[in-house]
């Protein structure tokens, strides 16, 4: 599903060059649920931005769903972001004036999906995250956990090759965090490929694989032996 080959990222400020990624090699197979960990400055956020086609690499190859991303222009990258990648962010990134249903429909509007089809798919996605009774509520009428469920539903609607979750529990209390991890586990059990950035070991324990970054390099890549299982509160 994903293959990263000798990926380097150098930020050139003019006076100094910062090597954020130092020749990363990484494979993520279809159906995996992996977390990327590391302290601030480790390179994990840079890696996530490259995986999400939000930033470009200085050197190397990135194969996503059989397509080499390296060297693509911004328009092509925008298309891939919309069609092949579902994003879930710490800050939810919901539009405050839109309802849950309308927020979930947004990626399909950009993709040119017709009204009736996108309405149906948005409702189906909200049912998957147990929010079908709140579809007409706006973000300020929802709890933090419910807002993140809307964001997860939005990430699903274009049937992406991968879901990228960047600190998805960072703004949530512990109970909501476990519920969100339960939804991710449920989606993974249904076949979704999920990559999650987190700095919390207790959250990473709900995934199946932990890749740890330090100073721009991968220092460990291990299977989670005793994966925690979260129950989804319907």
Q: Say how many domains are in the chain.
A: 1
**Per-residue pLDDT tens over the stretch 164-178:** 999 999 989 999 999
Q: Considering the domain boundaries, does residue 99 fall inside one?
A: yes
Q: Considering the domain boundaries, does residue 232 fall inside one?
A: no
Q: Considering the domain boundaries, does residue 145 fall inside one?
A: yes
Q: Considering the domain boundaries, does residue 234 fall inside one?
A: no
Q: Considering the domain boundaries, does residue 44 fall inside one?
A: yes
The pTM of the full predicted model, rounded to 2 decimals, is: 0.92
Q: Considering the domain boundaries, does residue 231 fall inside one?
A: no
d(CA 65, CA 144): 32
Provide the residue range defining the domain that includes 6.
2-223
pLDDT of 231 strictly over 80: no
Q: Considering the domain boundaries, does residue 230 fall inside one?
A: no
**Per-residue pLDDT tens over the stretch 21-58:** 999 999 999 999 999 999 988 999 999 999 999 988 99
CATH number at residue 143: 3.40.50.300
230 neighbors 174 (Cβ within 8 angstroms): no
Q: Considering the domain boundaries, does residue 167 fall inside one?
A: yes
In the predicted model, what is the mean pLDDT of residues 200-211? 95
């Amino acid at each position: 599903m994903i293959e990263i080959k000798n990926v380097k990222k150098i930020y050139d400020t003019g006076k100094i060059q910062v090597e954020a990624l130092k020749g990363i090699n990484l494979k993520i197979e279809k159906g995996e649920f992996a977390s990327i960990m590391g302290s601030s400055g480790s390179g994990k956020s840079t890696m996530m931005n490259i995986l999400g086609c939000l930033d470009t690499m200085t050197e190397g190859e990135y194969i996503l769903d059989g397509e080499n991303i390296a060297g693509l222009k911004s328009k092509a990258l925008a298309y891939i972001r919309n069609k092949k990648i579902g994003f879930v962010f710490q800050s939810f990134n919901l539009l405050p004036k839109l309802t849950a249903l309308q927020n979930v429909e947004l990626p399909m509007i950009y993709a040119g999906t017709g009204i009736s089809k996108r309405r149906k798919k948005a409702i189906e996605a909200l049912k998957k995250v147990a929010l079908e009774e709140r579809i007409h509520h706006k973000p300020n009428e929802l709890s933090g956990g419910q807002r993140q469920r809307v964001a997860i539903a939005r990430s699903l609607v274009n049937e992406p090759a991968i879901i990228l979750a960047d600190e998805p529990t960072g703004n949530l209390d512990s109970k909501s965090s476990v519920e969100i991890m339960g939804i991710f586990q449920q989606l993974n059990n249904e076949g979704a490929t999920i990559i999650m950035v987190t700095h919390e070991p207790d959250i990473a324990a709900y995934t199946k694989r932990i890749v740890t970054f330090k100073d721009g390099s991968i220092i460990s890549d291990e299977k989670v032996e005793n994966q925690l299982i979260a129950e989804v509160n319907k």
